[in-house]
Structure 1
Amino acid sequence: MPILVITGTGTEVGKTVTTAAVAASAVAAGRSVAVLKAAQTGVRPDERGDAEEVARLAGPVAARELARYPEPLAPGTAARRAGRAPVHPHEIAEAAAKLSTEHDLVLVEGAGGLLVRFDPAGGTLADAAELLAAPVLVVAPAGLGTLNSTELTAREVRRRGLDLVGVVIGSWPTEPDLAARCNLADLPEVACAPLLGALPAGAGAFAPEVFRRTAPGWLAPRLDGTWDAEAFRVRQRPRALEH
């Protein structure tokens, strides 16, 4: 798996922190890692973007950003409103392929969901993944409403003939409700792919040294971690209704 495309079921689901955890776990396993942010939106030129945030949390990884637009919008819309050139899927694929010649693992982080548009022709992260024939990791929220968006994303990945590596819960609450607990069993079922991790809520605020030390414990061995999905489900299993 020299290239892994990481997408979310939407915005604010923990995609960047999950990317950082995957990067930190790979680095801890002795692999050289690069992270590619296809397009950064809603960030000023002097602010840290997602790729730089991954590097801050994960440690010695190469960080590259293809484009930056000031407004927090879909990349295609943000590029048009800023009067700047959009990023096209073939540019994402070419940059990732080049990085893969220099690193053991390249993590390509999208913007929002899988089908968010990058250019006027409707190019998406899914198109870039197709060009790369790269596997896809889906980051999903824990609670109510996640099953529909996760299943739709998984179906689109498979429709394109791509390998869905699995699903990671981007932020597992300190006090999960019934929906979140049930979703531990339901998410892999609707995605037809394994649950490969659950990041604790607020993990992005951890000190970098703590983040790097603990990140492997949030991810399954498929992602260079030690997290056990079944053991986690057993600990979080909801109690049956009492009659």
Structure 2
Amino acid sequence: MSVTFITGTDTDVGKTLTTAALAVALSATGASVAVYKPTQTGVPAGGHGDVDEVARLSGILAVHEGIRLDDPMAPRAAAGRANRELPLLAHHVARIADLAASHDRVLVEGAGGVLVELDADGHTLADLAAASSGVGATSFVVVCRSGLGTLNHTALTLEALHRRGFAAPAVVIGSWPVAPSDIELGNRESLQQTPGTQFIGCLPAGASLLGTRAFRDLAPGWLQLPPG
């Protein structure tokens, strides 16, 4: 059993698309895959959330949420506006353990960046990954942008993970344009050469517009699966 945590250098960088692509690529190897989103914000009850999009694109049906909040804000702020309590870290660990007991791979998609607080005690996705280490092998995939500024944002995220003891996180560019600029080409080359990590691919811009069949056919070719 292994658990992979998908985080981003910022919000709206392609975490959900990457989660769906990883789910497809892993299931293509014969692995059973489950997806868990501890905290979903910015989507009302009955709306189309990230796990719903993962299910639509990948065809994976084992998708689950910890809590869903209406306001498009950080989880603690969104929960405060809704007068709701966020689930405790232990609740998320237990959910992940339950999924890991019945699936080969569990993908956990964070909210925003790796240090966004997920509960009232200030625990982050990095804390959740550390607390889940007893469930199985844990790893991180960092999703970044292609354009100007991404090298600094990616380095900050990687440093935060390295300082917390997470070795060799994988890196994905969440949206790669059809006609990349010189800056984007240079950024990709730099990310490919970043020590202490593994660059595993770029997802094409517009991939989220694909239907399930096309996405499942194409996604395994976009990523080199990280070890674990």
TM-score, structure 2 as length reference: 0.93
Give the counterpart letter for 2:33 in structure 1: V
Q: Does 1:8 align with 2:12?
A: no
- Superposed, which structure 2 residues align to 1:79-228 within 5 Å? 79-133=79-133, 134-190=138-194, 192-222=196-226
For the pair shown, the structure with the greater C-alpha radius of gyration is 1
Structure with larger RCO (C-alpha < 8 A, sep 6+): 2
Post-superposition CA distance 1:83-133 (Å, at most 9, x none): 011133322222111100000110000000000112232111110011113
Please give the alpha-carbon distance, in whole angstroms, between the structure 2 residues aligned to 1:210 and 1:15. Answer: 19
Residues 71-80 or 81-90, more deviating: 81-90
Q: SS where residue 94 of structure 2 aligns?
A: helix
Post-superposition CA distance 1:22-67 (Å, at most 9, x none): 0011111111110001111000112121112101111133010010
1:73 aligned partner:
73
1:240 aligned partner:
none
8 Å Cα contact 2:69/2:79 also seen in 1: yes
Structure 2 segments unaligned to the other structure (5+ residues)? none
Structure 1 segments unaligned to the other structure (5+ residues)? 225-243
Please give the alpha-carbon distance, in whole angstroms, between the structure 2 residues aligned to 1:60 and 1:12. Answer: 22
Root mean square deviation of aligned Cα:
1.5
Q: SS where residue 186 of structure 1 aligns?
A: helix
The alpha-carbon deviation at position 174 of structure 1 amounts to 1.1
Please give the alpha-carbon distance, in whole angstroms, between the structure 1 residues aligned to 2:139 and 2:227. Answer: 12
Give the counterpart letter for 1:76 in structure 2: R
Post-superposition CA distance 1:171-205 (Å, at most 9, x none): 00111111110011212444631210100001011
Residues 64-73 or 189-198, more deviating: 189-198
8 Å Cα contact 2:74/2:116 also seen in 1: yes
1:64 aligned partner:
64
Q: SS where residue 190 of structure 2 aligns?
A: helix
Give the counterpart letter for 1:4 in structure 2: T
8 Å Cα contact 1:40/1:69 also seen in 2: yes
8 Å Cα contact 2:170/2:226 also seen in 1: no
Please give the alpha-carbon distance, in whole angstroms, between the structure 1 residues aligned to 2:168 and 2:45. Answer: 34
